[in-house]
């Protein structure tokens, strides 16, 4: 008779809400082992009894055969004394402990559920909330860990006998699936008219009919409510834009399937894979007609996603003549977070929505759609949110107890536990009170869910950021140490941490604005350093901003400033009634802060090239300038010049601007000028690297300007051809949303070294 042994196994990672316990049960049965398994706050634990060979086979299978959505980070096997005499294998009730596990993001419907959704004989035929252990809502419905139904918004829906039988049957896909439900016992969808009155009939059919008739419909998903209309109906799109006061900002679309997406855009193999992945981000794709679909996007690219809930699948299936492509834009009032509650939508969208397709399952955690492009075969994030959050970014260093508050626009935060950086979902601009409330609530949720007790706080150097105010308030309240880190250094460190780099790097950090160590606005910086310190070694000639922040919207003022600085004729910019006043401000240096900002340079150049005087939203001018480029039209070759000032090698914008204005006067194509301008910036980056990075340190590219795919590709290509190792972002956004990761990394390094900034007073960099 073979000798029996007993072992204890603890598994950590994303092992809840992904069918992990049912998988372990089936694996134990395969290996003829007895024992038990249960969820804990830390992950999953189990005991097994059986022959040594079978136990080894189980351990091997645990690592090799884990469910596709599971992320097994650590497996600890401990031999135990004696035998317990288990006669079978059971799933025990979950146990609370002092630890905290990871939480799965929300997952798109799996093929098996989609097949059942359209099988007339199936009891879940056309049921909008079909799910199983391989798919469905996760983060957006969870209130507490361990991940069990009572800790989710499914707690109010008691399982019917059929669902309960499935839940307890090891042979089904729904064995221990926490959101398991059906039409008899689960959430229900309903349709309301524009006054909020119930309309009899099938909710999805009614919504399809309204969309086909040109209506604007509010649709409740997993992480928030969208406003939808027929993307192929220009009148409906114009109506949605007018009602939502979103006249120019691009609109994302949701396509029925890949074929519908390919009718609008080019889709390569990597893009196809990501579009159809379980994460289902909005993906920026090249329009087949760069000048087409202007009602949806004036850019060369369009944001496209595929349905990521069963309700979306049904809404787009055309069964009642509805469209196969819908505009899907967040249902929110200007500057506020996406709506999540039915009553909030009925009140806030009155006069905007012609109907409401809602449901009665609560959204616990608000989570906007993720936005990405594919660059060199992988995701390149503009916004990391639904489908990714709250899955942590792993770090190469211990970040336990560090809470990073991020910036103010495109705000996010990061909380550290061991080697995990938990980055928040998309939050938005903290200048809005409701968004600030969302920021606070999300932070509280992360700290509670993941068992993080802050011991060190870190925020931006800018004293007036709302995130800085939040950090200072918590530091006072809890008597915690607070570091304030310079904005562009945090960007550089974020890219280092994103790529798991250590030591010294050369940072090219280009963005809109960030407070510099000298009290001026930075945004076109060349830095040398690491997590412990940095030096600013290069920059660009500062752009004067008449009227300060007002110039970021009134970009004609920046065009005037650039022309004035380059000693060019200024009589065309801006309107005559303002010109004399603005020129006087420039000449006297009154209310004209200087910004060494690539973002502001883009604003001014776009205005110079097109005559446009105002931007409708943040980042519009740089995006539209990139969209001017036509691959068939060569770029003009413009001069790249430099000068030394106070120990900095600065890019001199004046020769470039004179050449641009001369070409405009000659009637040169805007496409050739826009391409030539960006080519000049690429060459400028290369020349700065050659002059300032003689040690050939790894080069990291960060800051919101690197959302520009032309610059990203052009600079990377030139630097790599010259022998530099180049590291763009790969797991978080290069914009301010990813900056909190750099703050976290710098604070972690501070634990073991004394901070200083060469050539600067330490207290000016970190406080």
Choose the catalytic residue: 34, 39, 342, 365.
39
Report the distance separating Cα 29 and Cα 524, nearest Å: 61
Q: What is the pTM of this model?
A: 0.93
569 band by pLDDT with thresholds 50, 70 and 90: confident
pLDDT on residue 758: 35
Task: Provide the 10 A C-beta neighbour count for residue 235.
Answer: 11
**CATH ID of 4-91, from 3.40.50.1980, 3.30.420.40, 1.10.760.10, 3.30.70.100:** 3.30.70.100
Cis peptide before 390 (omega within 30 of 0): yes
672 band by pLDDT with thresholds 50, 70 and 90: very high
DSSP 572: T
Mean of the per-residue pLDDT values of the chain:
94
DSSP 407: -
Contact in structure between 128 and 312 (CB atoms under 8 Å)? no
Query: How far, CA to CA in Å, does 674 sit from each of 623, 685, 742?
Result: 11, 17, 32
Report the distance separating Cα 641 and Cα 437, nearest Å: 47
Is the confidence at residue 131, as pLDDT, over 70?
yes
95 band by pLDDT with thresholds 50, 70 and 90: confident
β pairing state of 594-597 and 521-529: parallel
Kindly indicate whether the domain formed by 189-359 is annotated with CATH number 3.90.870.10. Answer: yes
Report the distance separating Cα 427 and Cα 429, nearest Å: 7
Contact in structure between 573 and 560 (CB atoms under 8 Å)? yes
Higher pLDDT, 102 or 595: 595
Contact in structure between 112 and 173 (CB atoms under 8 Å)? yes
Choose the catalytic residue: 21, 417, 675, 731.
21
Contact in structure between 225 and 248 (CB atoms under 8 Å)? no
Report the distance separating Cα 637 and Cα 643, nearest Å: 20
Closest alpha carbon to 337 in 449, 439, 445: 439
Report the distance separating Cα 621 and Cα 625, nearest Å: 6
Compute the C-alpha angle 422/379/311, nearest 5°: 80
Residue with tokens 């091997």: 60
CATH 3.30.70.100 domain extents, the chain: 4-91
Q: Which residues contact 151 (CB under 8 A, 6 or more apart)?
A: 142, 143, 144, 145
Is the confidence at residue 412, as pLDDT, over 80?
yes
Q: Which residues contact 685 (CB under 8 A, 6 or more apart)?
A: 508, 715, 718, 719
Helices (H) and strands (E) in the chain, counts: 23, 30
Contact in structure between 207 and 229 (CB atoms under 8 Å)? no
Residue with tokens 């196994």: 9
440-460 mean pLDDT: 97
Compute the C-alpha angle 510/514/520, nearest 5°: 110
Residue with tokens 């280092």: 496
Q: Which residues contact 214 (CB under 8 A, 6 or more apart)?
A: 229, 230, 233, 235, 236, 239
Report the distance separating Cα 688 and Cα 644, nearest Å: 12
pLDDT on residue 764: 34
% of the chain exceeding 70 in pLDDT = 97
Closest alpha carbon to 134 in 174, 182, 91, 181: 174
Q: In sequence order, what DSSP letters do the residues of 240-308 get, joined into one string?
A: HHHHHT-SSS---EEESSHHHHHHHB---HHHHHHHTSTT--EEEEEBSSTTS-TTT-SSSEEEEE---
Closest alpha carbon to 362 in 219, 224, 167: 224
249-263 mean pLDDT: 97
**Backbone dihedral region of 567: left (phi > 0), alpha (psi from -120 to 50 degrees) or beta?**
left
Kindly indicate whether the domain formed by 510-728 is annotated with CATH number 3.40.50.720. Answer: no
Distance of CA 750 to the CA centre of its chain: 27
154-174 mean pLDDT: 95
Q: Which residues contact 564 (CB under 8 A, 6 or more apart)?
A: 544, 570, 583, 586
pLDDT digits (tens, 9 = 90+) for 684-729: 999 999 999 999 999 999 999 999 999 999 999 999 999 999 999 9
Strand, coil or helix: what is 357?
strand
Is the confidence at residue 257, as pLDDT, over 60?
yes
Compute the C-alpha angle 709/714/718, nearest 5°: 155
1 band by pLDDT with thresholds 50, 70 and 90: low
Compute the C-alpha angle 532/513/620, nearest 5°: 135
CATH number of 392-499+739-765: 3.30.420.360
pLDDT digits (tens, 9 = 90+) for 501-555: 999 999 999 999 999 999 999 999 999 999 999 999 999 999 999 999 999 999 9
pLDDT digits (tens, 9 = 90+) for 355-366: 999 999 999 999
CATH 3.90.870.10 domain extents, the chain: 189-359
**Element spanning 44, H or E:** strand 43-51
**Element spanning 371, H or E:** strand 371-375
Which residues partner with 595 through β-bridges? 521, 543
pLDDT digits (tens, 9 = 90+) for 460-494: 999 999 999 999 999 999 999 999 999 999 999 99
477 is catalytic: no
Closest alpha carbon to 643 in 654, 655, 652, 656: 652
500 is catalytic: no
Report the distance separating Cα 100 and Cα 144, nearest Å: 10
pLDDT digits (tens, 9 = 90+) for 267-320: 999 999 999 999 999 999 999 988 788 899 998 899 999 999 999 999 999 998
Is the confidence at residue 571, as pLDDT, over 90?
no
749-765 mean pLDDT: 49
For 612-651, b/e burial (b = at least 16 CB within 10 A) is bbebeebbbbbbbbbbbbbeeeebbebebebeeeeebbbb
Query: How far, CA to CA in Å, does 29 sit from each of 19, 48, 91, 169?
Result: 16, 11, 13, 14
Is the confidence at residue 753, as pLDDT, over 90?
no
Q: Which two tokens stand for residue 37?
A: 């398994």
Report the distance separating Cα 558 and Cα 127, nearest Å: 55
Strand, coil or helix: what is 150?
helix
CATH 3.30.420.360 domain extents, the chain: 392-499+739-765
Report the distance separating Cα 13 and Cα 551, nearest Å: 47
């Amino acid at each position: 008779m073979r000798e029996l042994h007993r072992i204890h196994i603890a598994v950590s990672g994303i092992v809840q809400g992904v069918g992990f316990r049912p998988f372990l049960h089936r694996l134990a049965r395969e290996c003829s082992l007895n024992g038990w398994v249960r969820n804990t706050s830390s992950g999953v634990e189990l005991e097994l009894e059986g022959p040594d060979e079978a136990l080894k086979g189980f351990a091997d299978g645990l690592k090799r055969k884990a469910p596709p959505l599971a992320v097994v980070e650590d497996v600890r096997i401990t031999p135990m004394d004696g035998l317990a005499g288990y006669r079978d294998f059971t799933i025990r009730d979950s146990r609370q402990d002092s630890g905290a596990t990871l939480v799965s993001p929300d997952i798109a419907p799996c093929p098996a559920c989609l097949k059942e959704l359209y099988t007339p004989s199936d009891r879940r035929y056309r049921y909008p909330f079909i799910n199983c252990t391989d798919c469905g809502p996760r983060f957006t419905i969870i209130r507490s860990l361990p991940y069990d139904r009572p800790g989710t918004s499914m707690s109010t829906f008691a399982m019917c006998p059929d669902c309960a039988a499935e839940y307890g049957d090891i042979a089904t896909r729904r064995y221990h699936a926490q959101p398991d439900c059906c039409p008899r016992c689960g959430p229900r969808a309903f349709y309301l008219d524009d006054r909020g009155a119930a309309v009899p009939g099938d909710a999805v059919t009614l919504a399809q009919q309204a969309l086909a008739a040109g209506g604007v419909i509010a649709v409740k998903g997993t992480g928030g409510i969208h406003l939808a209309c027929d993307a192929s109906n220009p009148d409906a799109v114009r109506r949605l834009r007018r009602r939502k006061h979103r006249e120019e900002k691009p609109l994302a679309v949701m396509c029925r399937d890949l074929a519908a997406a390919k009718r609008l855009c080019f889709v390569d193999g990597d893009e196809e894979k990501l579009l159809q992945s379980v994460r289902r981000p909005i993906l920026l794709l090249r329009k087949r007609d760069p000048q087409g679909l202007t009602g949806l996007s004036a850019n060369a690219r369009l944001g496209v996603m595929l349905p990521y809930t069963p309700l979306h699948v049904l809404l787009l299936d055309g069964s009642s003549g509805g469209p196969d492509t819908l505009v899907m834009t967040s249902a929110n009032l200007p500057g506020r977070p996406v709506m999540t509650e039915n009553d909030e939508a009925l009140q806030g969208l009155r006069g905007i929505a012609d109907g409401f397709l809602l449901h009665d399952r609560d959204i616990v955690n608000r989570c906007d759609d993720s936005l990405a492009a594919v660059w060199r075969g992988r995701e390149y994030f503009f916004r990391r949110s639904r489908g990714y959050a709250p899955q942590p970014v792993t770090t190469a260093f211990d970040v336990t107890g560090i809470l990073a508050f991020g910036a103010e626009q495109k705000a996010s935060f990061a909380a550290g536990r061991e080697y995990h950086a938990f980055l928040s979902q998309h939050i938005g601009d903290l200048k809005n009170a409701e968004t600030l409330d969302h920021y606070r609530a999300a932070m509280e949720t992360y700290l509670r869910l993941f068992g993080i007790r802050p011991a060190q706080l870190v925020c931006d150097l800018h004293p007036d950021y709302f995130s800085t105010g939040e950090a200072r308030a918590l530091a006072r309240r809890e008597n915690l140490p607070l570091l304030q880190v310079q904005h562009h250094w945090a960007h550089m460190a974020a890219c280092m941490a994103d790529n798991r780099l250590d030591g010294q790097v050369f940072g090219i950090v280009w963005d809109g604005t960030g407070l510099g160590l000298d009290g001026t606005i930075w945004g076109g910086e060349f830095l040398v350093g690491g997590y412990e310190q940095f030096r600013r070694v290069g920059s660009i000639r500062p752009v004067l901003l008449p009227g300060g922040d007002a110039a970021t919207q009134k970009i004609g003022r920046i065009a005037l400033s650039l022309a004035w600085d380059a000693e060019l004729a200024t009589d065309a910019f801006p309107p005559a009634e303002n010109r004399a006043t603005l020129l006087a401000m420039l000449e006297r240096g009154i209310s004209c802060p200087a910004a060494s900002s690539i973002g502001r340079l883009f604003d001014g150049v776009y205005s110079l090239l097109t005559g446009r005087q105002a931007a409708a939203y943040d980042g519009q001018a740089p995006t539209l300038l990139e969209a001017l480029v036509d691959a068939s039209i060569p770029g003009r070759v413009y001069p790249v010049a430099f000068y030394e000032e106070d120990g900095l090698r600065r890019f001199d914008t004046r020769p470039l601007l004179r050449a641009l204005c001369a070409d405009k006067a000659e009637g040169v194509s805007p496409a050739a000028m826009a391409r030539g301008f960006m080519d000049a910036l690429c060459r400028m980056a290369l020349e700065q690297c050659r002059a300032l990075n003689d040690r050939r340190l790894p080069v990291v590219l960060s800051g919101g300007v690197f959302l520009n795919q032309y610059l990203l590709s052009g600079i990377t290509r030139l630097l790599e051809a010259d022998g530099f190792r180049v590291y763009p972002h790969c797991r978080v956004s290069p914009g301010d949303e990813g900056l909190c990761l750099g703050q976290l990394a710098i604070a972690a390094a501070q634990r073991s070294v004394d901070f200083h900034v060469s050539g600067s007073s330490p207290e000016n960099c970190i406080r």
